[in-house]
Amino acid sequence: MLFFLNHIAMFLSLLAIEVVFALGALAHNSTFQNPILPGFHPDPSCIFVPDWDDTFFCASSSFLVFPGIPIHASRDLIDWRLVSNALSRPEQEPGINTAKRATSGIWASTIRYRDGIFYVVTSLVYDDYPKNASNRFDSFIITSTNPYSSASWSNPLHFNFTGYDTSPFWDDDGQLYIPGTHAWEITPGIQMVTLDLDTGTIGPYINIWNGTGASSPEGPHIYKKDNYYYLLIAEGGTGSRHMATIGRSKNITGPYESNPHNPVLTNANTTHYFQNTGHADLFQDADDNWWAVALSVRQGPDGSYPMGRETILTPVTWNEGEWPVFTNASGHMNGWYLDPEDPIEEGEGSLVDSSVHLTFPPGSKLAPEFVHWRFPVNGSYVVSPAGYPNTLQLTSSLSNLTGADGRSAEPEGQTFIGRRQVHSFFTFSTIFDISTLHSQEAEVGVTVFVDQLHHWDLGIVLGSPSTPPVTTGYSGPSTSTNSTTLVPYLRLRGITTVPNFIFPDIAIVPMPAVWSNKITLEIRASNITHYTFSAGPVGSQGQMQDIGFAPGLGLTWGFTGALLGVYATSNGGAGEFKTYVSDWIYNGLGQVVD
C-alpha cells in the first residue's frame, strides 16, 4: 500500500508541475496538427484581421507555378481554405513566363493589412542571372480590398529594390519601410529602404543587421512592441541548418542587439521528422496571444521530402519587454486556446487538405487549386468542349515536361495541369480517352512533377509494334521507324538530379489489346518513400496493373513541392492532337507527422 501511495504522490506532483507549466506558458491549451498548409506552401506569411470577422490570412511562395501566391484563410488556425490567388493574370508579372531555372520565380511573399487594404510585397527572381546582375530582381507590391477574389488583386507597383524577401513595415508616423536581402554572398546582411507608395521611389539602402553570423541572412520581418523594434530573420540557408533568429533595437535603423537565446526556432542537429525549419512570421490572435508560422519539411528515413517545404504553426510566449519564446515545432502541437469555428465558406477554393472528385461539368471553370508550370497556352485547356461533356480537353504541346534542356521556358508552352500533393498517403487517378492519338511518340499521362528536371511520368505513348518507344534523350522523340502501324505502350519514365542526373525508363509495357480507348491511370503513395504507378481499362478495377515504382528522393530538390497532374505532348514530333480527361479523383488517405 505504501508503494502504491508513493507512486500516487509522485504522479500528482508531476501532474502539478505539468499544469503549472501549461498555465504559465499557454494558459488554455488547444491541440492542432502540423503542417497547417501541407505540401508546396513555403515561406509563409500570416496576419490576423479583426476587420474581416476575426480572420487569419496567409500567403506563400509560388516560384514558377501559375496562378501564384495562394492566399489561404481560417478563423481557427486549423481549417484553411484557398480563397484566392494574388497572381492570377499573366499581365501582372509577365516575367514568370520567361524566367529560366526552377528556382526562379516568385520568392517569399509578405502579406499585411492596413487601413482597409491588403498588401502583398514580393519579388520575382531570375535565379539564372549572375548574383550581381542589377536586373536579377523585380520587387513589387500588389493590393486588394477583397482577398476572397483573385480578380481583386491589383497590377503591381514595381520598386527598384535590388534584392528579395522584401517585407513592409509602417512605423507610427506612417513611414513605410522595406527590409529585404541583397544577394547575400555579395552584400551580406539585411538591407532596408523607405518606399513612397505613390511613386514607387525608394530611399537609400541601410544595412540594419547581419544576423548572428550564420549564412544567408534573409526573410526579414519587423514588428514594434514595448518601444522596441524587433527584426525576425532566417539564417543558415533553407536546408538542414535553417533557423529563425531575432534582434531588437530602440531605433528602426539599428543597431540591433541579438537575442542571447538565438536561434528562436530550428530543428537543426536533431532527428525530428520536421526538418529545415525556419523563415518565420509572427502575428497575434483576438486575445493578443502570439503565434508564428514557418516553413518546414517532413523528411523520410531515406532523406526524401517530395512534398517540399510546407507551412507549420507554433505558439509564442512574448511577455512585456522580453524576448519572444517560440515553442519547438512538431507534428502534434498544443497552442493558445481558440474557440472552434466552422470552416470559412467565402472565397474561390476548397479546404487545403480536401479530397476531390472532379467531373468537369458544362459551364464550370477550373478551380483555383489547378496550376501550370509558367503560363498556360490559351485554348489548351477546355472544360466540356462540344461533343465531349464532362471532360477536360487538353491540346498537346510540342514539348514534354522536361522540354529542351530541363530549365528553359518553352516558347510554345507545355501542356500540363496539376494540383498540389497535400497528403502523405493518397491515390490520384483520372481517365484518358486515347482514341485521338495517331502519331509516333504522341503521349498522354499522369505525373508527379516538381520541376522540369524532377518528375516521374506514367504515359500512354504510341510506338512501333516491333520497336518499343525507348528514348535516347528525355527531351526529344525516340528514333523514328518506317512502320505505319502504331500501338500504345505504357511507359513509366522520369528525370532527376538526385542523387545523380539520370533520365531512366523504369518500365515500358505493351498495353493489352483487349483494353479500350478509355484508360484509367493512377498514382498512389502507399508509403512515405515511393510512388506507385498503375493503369487499367475503365470499368474494370480488378484489371488495374502496377506498372512500376519511383522514389520520392528523386523529387527532393529545390524550393517547391510535388504537383499531381496530367499532360499531353507530341514529344517533339509532328501531329498536334487533343485528348480528353475525365473523373479526376484525388483521395487523401492520411498524414504522417512523426
Query: In this predicted structure, what is the pLDDT of residue 541?
Result: 67
- Does CATH place domain 356-590 in 3.40.50.300? no
- Domain 41-336 top-level CATH class: mainly beta
Picking from 557, 382, 542, 366, the residue whose alpha carbon sits closest to that of residue 456 is: 557
Q: How many helices (H) and strands (E) does the chain have?
A: 1, 39
Inter-CA distances, 110 with 66, 182, 411, 527, Å? 18, 17, 31, 34
Inter-CA distances, 531 with 45, 206, 306, 528, 566, Å? 31, 48, 10, 8, 16
Residue by residue, pLDDT tens for the chain (594 residues) are 333 334 334 333 333 333 333 333 334 468 999 999 999 999 999 999 999 999 999 999 999 999 999 999 999 999 999 999 999 999 999 999 999 999 999 999 999 999 999 999 999 999 999 988 889 999 999 999 999 999 999 999 999 999 999 999 999 999 999 999 987 677 889 999 999 999 999 999 999 999 999 999 999 999 999 999 999 999 999 999 999 999 999 999 999 999 999 999 999 999 999 999 999 999 999 999 999 999 999 999 999 999 999 999 999 999 999 999 999 999 999 999 988 889 999 999 999 999 999 999 999 999 999 999 999 999 999 999 999 999 999 999 999 999 999 999 999 999 999 999 999 999 999 999 999 999 999 999 999 999 999 999 999 999 988 777 765 445 454 444 444 689 999 999 999 999 999 888 899 999 999 999 999 999 999 899 999 999 999 987 678 999 999 999 999 999 999 999 999 999 998 789 999 999 999 999 999 999
Picking from 99, 82, 180, the residue whose alpha carbon sits closest to that of residue 140 is: 180
Rounded distance between C-alpha atoms, residue 152 and residue 56, angstroms: 18
**Which contacts qualify for 263-269: CB closer than 8 Å, 24 or more apart?**
263/212, 263/235, 263/236, 264/232, 264/323, 264/324, 264/325, 264/326, 265/292, 265/294, 265/314, 265/326, 265/328, 265/329, 266/236, 266/242, 267/296, 267/328, 267/329, 268/236, 268/240, 268/241, 268/242, 268/243
From the CB of residue 542, how many other CB atoms can be counted at a distance below 10 Å?
5
DSSP 2: H
Locate the domains of the chain by residue range.
Answer: 41-336, 356-590
Q: Please say whether the beta carbons of 317 and 290 come within 8 A.
A: yes
Residue 8, burial from CB neighbour count under 10 angstroms (0-12, 13-18, 19+) = exposed
Classify 50 as helix, strand or coil. Answer: helix
Query: Which are the catalytic amino acids?
Result: 43, 218
Residue 576, burial from CB neighbour count under 10 angstroms (0-12, 13-18, 19+) = middle
Instruction: State the cell numbers at 192.
Output: 532596408
Rounded distance between C-alpha atoms, residue 241 and residue 108, angstroms: 18
Query: In this predicted structure, what is the pLDDT of residue 474?
Result: 52
Beta strands 356-358; 332-336: pairing state: unpaired
Question: What does the angle CA 241 – CA 281 – CA 374 come to, to the nearest 5 degrees?
Answer: 80
Inter-CA distances, 197 with 390, 429, 455, Å? 46, 47, 41
Rounded distance between C-alpha atoms, residue 344 and residue 79, angstroms: 8
